[in-house]
Amino acid sequence: MELFNGGSIALKDIPLLEKKEFRGEVLLRCRDGARLANLFGSPDGGGGVRLIAILGQDEDPELQILATTISAGSARYESLTAELLQAHLFEREIAEQWAIVPEGHPWLKPVRYHANYRGVPDIWKDIGEQTIPGSYPFYAVGGEEVHEVGVGPVHAGIIEPGHFRFQCHGEEVLHLEIQLGYQHRGIEPMMCGSGMKRQALLSESVAGDTSVGHSTAFCEAVESLAGCTVPIKAQAIRAVALELERLANHVGDLGALGMDAGFLTTSAYFGRMRGDYLNLLLELTGNRFGKGLCRPGGVLFDIEDSMAEDLCRRLTRYKKEFEEVSDLLFTSPSVLARFEGIGTVSLEAAKSLGMVGPAARASQLEYDVRSDYSSGMWQFYHVPISLAASGDVYARALVRRQEVMRSLELLLKLLPSLPKGEICASPGPLKPETLAVSLVEGWRGEIMHACITDSHGALARYKIKDPSFNNWFALTLAMRNQEISDFPLCNKSFNLSYCGHDL
Amino acid sequence: MSSLLNVTFPVLAHWMIVCLLSPFFLGVIARVKAFFSGKAGPPVLQPYFDLARLFRKKCVYSSTATWVFRAAPVIILAAMMALSLLVPFGICKAPVQFSGDILLAVYLLALGRFFMILAALDTGSSFEGMGASREAFFSCLSELALFMNFITLALLTRSISLARMIGADVPIVWGGMEPTLLLAVASLFIVLLAENRRIPVDDPETHLELTMIHEVMILDHSGVDLAYLLYASALKLFIFFGILVSIIVPVRTGYPVTDTAIFLGGMLGLAALVGIVESSMARLRLNRVRLLLLISFALAFFGLIVTLWRA
């Protein structure tokens, strides 16, 4: 079955394939160039679990939906991972959430350490009771000259918790294993038990730095289920907020990259400029991180003409400032020497891992939700995809710089010609037994929310996929055979979310 | 009794000046860096406040640390204080001078470093082990350059006493010896950056334990011990500044006030230069640091060749 971004489809219209057929079909389509955008389980009402795969062709604006049923009696299926690397984390997640064994999974370990949703014995005994990493033995490299370095979950900087286990030979990293899950809050089940007001707040808290991105994705999914038409002005305001969020984070990241390379001058300027964009969000929404703006049906705060003019005037100034400071960063030989050739991810690797966002585009993977699955305002405004070829820290910085410039250009085009009219419609009741999928290009990349309603029109399953979920594994790959002292720089160039992954 | 006083008084006076002034220059560097970042920056006296705060705190020791870990801060500070006695600062002559004291100076530096590394290894932390290994490797290279420069200076001044070699008593005559001295000064400046773990070799302000060299080795030290180590770093920087300024500015007017002003001006200029270097470039990749140190060695080497050829 096929579905547009922001579309919905009745569950009975999704054909259920046999397990074997499902596996064959997913593998076949992925071999033909599709990307596994999501793979998740959902209760099928009869004690079993319905597995839903969402595939994206990327040049085709339609998403492909495939489904199969795993009966409660035999909670196992043949794993996809051995033939499709992108599936590895999705399958681990399914194993943990639904206690379904993906047979033949090469590296089946828990993701977030919680009890399964079905209330049956877990695959890993009492996983919900254990503190991370439980009894899991980290991958270790043998030999007298190899030493192991463990960093975190408590870090020296003000960042989120995560454990990084390096196997090193001298300064060279042979292997890095990342253990996350410390931030698990159980947002997905919480979404299903809450009213719509609370759901909107929850969606803003999936990842604090992507509030606008996740709340837009949530709203679009719910609006699609409610069959509600969002006023065009509300869509424009959401786009403005989304771009401001992107600007704040990309500019902050460029500053942080400079800081980690020991180049303090630009990091101080970028740090201040990040504050400028956050302050614009504050003026727009009353919150520096854009919370409280997007609600099902539209947005809560309007941009009046005078405000749009003021925003334009300031953004023009910020653009000039950004150009000057980023020129300083990108023309300093000592900075380039730190960025170039570090943490390279090849296009092949990016494709097989299913990477998304700026990190993928830095490896020349041409994919941006805004142009490939355009919905809302993006149907009227085209943002060129920012690409770089080298796949290293430099490329990831360069893509950010390009995206900042293009976001600024877009805002300067969009703000003077904001549509007129209402900013909020009221969403009606949700369609029963329906699947809705929404995609948003957050600043880290593709955000996907998929929700399924029960027979009363209440949410029965809410699946959130943050771009970090796709990209964390790329960081371990990027660190292979690099110097351990370059890890902070490499990590910062991805700047992935811990809580977006841990949910 | 009076002879004892005659010996101890200059020593105590020297120490007082050195200890009072040395943290000031860390504050100056921080202010210069803040200026280039468009920030107000911390007060110039911030290093003094930091030290005062740490001196009021107790030390925390890990259960695996042995006496080496506890003794190291004291030994390192003592080594730097002893070293400071061999170095003249402006009109303050070096209280201890004898032929060959240059060897003592180099070994005091090495002693401090040796205990720094031992204490870091003693903690058993993987971070500190990495820092210790980096410190050991880079100091091998920087010591080489340092020795080479000292040989050049010894040949120039026909002395193997540190104070004389850097022209504190008889000012170095630059006329005719510019190439050698320029090479030596450039090389010593790189050694200064490396020995004091400044950018581009190390970043004293980073919080990233995987990239640190010096900072990671003092991660486990706390309270008074940490204050000793910070003081020792400030002294080391001050000593290197003193040596360089003495060579670069061989002006002795004979008027104590003018001489002191010139000397302090030179010290401030050098601190500003370090701040400018730190603001204008990123840190080197760790595997390129050795190249910088080899450049320093090459400069020193050519300086020596020119000296030998002239002599």
Quick one: pLDDT band at residue B311, thresholds 50, 70, 90? low
Whether A342 is in a domain gets the answer: no
Asked, for residue A82, whether it belongs to a domain, the answer is: yes
Question: Which residue shows structure tokens 């690409």?
Answer: A387
The DSSP line for A338-383 is HHTTSS---HHHHHHHT--HHHHHTTT----HHHHS--GGGGTS--
Does residue A317 fall inside a structural domain?
no
Q: In this complex, which of B210, B282, B288 lies closest to A262 when CB atoms are compared?
A: B282
Give the pLDDT confidence score for residue A358 in this predicted structure. 94
Query: d(Cα A81, Cα A41) in Å, to the nearest integer?
Result: 16
Secondary element (H or E) of residue A447: strand A445-453
Q: What percent of chain B stands above pLDDT 90?
A: 58
Contact criterion met (CB < 8 Å) for A156 and B287:
no
pLDDT at A301 over 70: yes
A99-119 pLDDT, tens digit each: 999 988 988 888 998 998 888
Write a three-state SS string for A192-238. Answer: HCCCHHHHHHHHHCCCHHHHHHHHHHHHHHHHHHHCCCCCHHHHHHH
Between vectors from CA A104 to CA A99 and to CA A109, what angle results, nearest 5°?
Answer: 50
Q: Which of A270, A485, A490 would you mutate first to test chain B, the one with the most B CBs within 10 A?
A: A485
Q: A167 pairs with which residues across the strands?
A: A148, A175
pLDDT of amino acid B37 = 86
> Backbone phi, then psi, for A67, in 5-degree steps?
-145, 155
Mean pLDDT of chain B: 90
What pLDDT is recorded for position B43? 94
Judged by a CB distance cut-off of 8 A, whether residue B131 touches chain A is no
pLDDT single digits (tens) A56-114: 887 788 889 999 988 888 888 899 998 899 999 999 999 999 899 998 898 888 899 89
The residue among B186, B228, B224, B197 whose CA lies nearest residue B81 is: B228
- R_g over Cα of chain B: 19
Q: For residue A322, is pLDDT > 70?
A: yes
Between B177 and A151, whose confidence is greater?
A151
CA distance A395 to A367: 15
Chain B residues with CB under 8 Å of A272 CB are 38
What letter does residue A440 receive in the DSSP assignment?
A: E
B286 Cβ under 8 Å from any chain A Cβ: yes
The answer as to whether A61 is a domain residue is yes
Place of tokens 């008889």: B170
Confidence band of A211 (pLDDT split at 50, 70, 90): very high
B127/A338 CB distance under 8 A? no
CA distance A148 to A142: 10
In a domain, A49, yes or no: yes
Residue given tokens 């870090």 in the structure block: A155
Residue A228's pLDDT band, with cuts at 50, 70 and 90, is confident
pLDDT digits (tens, 9 = 90+) for B154-175: 988 888 999 888 887 777 777 7
> d(Cα A305, Cα A59) in Å, to the nearest integer?
36
Nearest residue of chain B to residue A265 (CA atoms) = B37
Q: Which residues of A touch B126 (CB under 8 A)?
A: 147-150
Of B38, B211, B279, the CB nearest to A485: B211
Tell me how far apart the alpha carbons of residues B249 and B181 are, in angstroms, rounded to a whole number.
12
Mean pLDDT of A174-198: 90
Indicate the number of domains in chain A.
1
As a whole number of Å, the CA-based R_g of chain A is 22
How confident is the model at residue A348, as a pLDDT?
A: 92
Chain A residue with minimal CA distance to B39?
Answer: A268
Residue A17 CA to residue A19 CA, distance in Å, equals 6
Q: Token pair 């800081």 is at which residue?
A: A259
Q: What is the pLDDT of residue B176?
A: 72
CB atoms within 10 A of CB A201: 13
| B287–chain A Cβ distance below 8 A for any pair | yes
Return the number of other C-beta atoms located less than 10 Å from residue B124's C-beta.
13
**Residue A477 phi, psi (nearest 5):** -70, -40
Q: Which helix (H) or strand (E) holds A459?
A: strand A459-465
Task: Establish if A154 touches chain B: CB-CB under 8 angstroms.
Answer: no
- Chain A residues lying within 8 Å of B211, measured CB to CB: 260, 485-486, 488
- Is the CB of A159 inside 8 Å of chain B's CB atoms? no
Report the C-alpha gap between B199 and A258 in whole angstroms: 13
Q: At what angle do helices A264-285 and B256-280 cross, to 10 degrees?
A: 60
Share of chain B above pLDDT 70, in %: 99
**Separation CA A270–CA A325 (nearest Å):** 8
pLDDT at position B1:
56
Cα separation of B41 and B27, whole Å?
10
User: Residue A23's domain spans which residues?
Assistant: 2-131
* Residues A274 and A251 sit within 8 Å (Cβ to Cβ): yes
- Domain contains A166: no
pLDDT digits (tens, 9 = 90+) for A336-348: 999 999 999 999 9
CB contact under 8 A, A156 and B285: no
Q: How far is CA B40 from CA A235, B30, B35, B115, in A?
A: 42, 10, 7, 37
Confidence band of B212 (pLDDT split at 50, 70, 90): confident
User: How far is A472 from A465, CA to CA, in rounded Å?
Assistant: 13
Question: For the whole model, what pTM was predicted?
Answer: 0.90
Both tokens of residue A172?
């060279």
Q: Which helix (H) or strand (E) holds B234?
A: helix B223-248
pLDDT in tens, A239-260: 999 999 999 999 999 999 998 8
Closest chain A CA to residue B276: A265
Q: Write down the pLDDT at residue A45.
A: 79
Kindly identify which residue of chain A lies nearest to residue B211, measuring between CA atoms: A485
**Domain regions of chain B by residue span:** 2-310
Q: Quick check: B62 contacting A, CB < 8 Å? A: no
Q: Model confidence over B121-143: pLDDT tens digits? A: 998 888 888 899 999 999 999 99
Residue A437 lies in a domain: no
Q: How far apart are CA A238 and CA A212, in angstroms?
A: 8
Nearest residue in chain B measured CA to CA from A157: B207
- The 3-class secondary structure across B163-217, one letter per residue, is HHHCCCCCCCCCCCCHHHHHHHHHHHHHHHHHHCCCCCCCCCCCCCCCCCCHHHH
Both tokens of residue B142?
């920087």
In order of A174, A234, A408, A457, B123, the CA distances from A147 in angstroms are 10, 55, 46, 55, 16
Q: What share of chain A is helix, strand, coil (3-state, %, to 5)?
A: 45, 20, 35
CATH of the domain at A47: 3.30.460.80
Output the pLDDT for position B86.
92
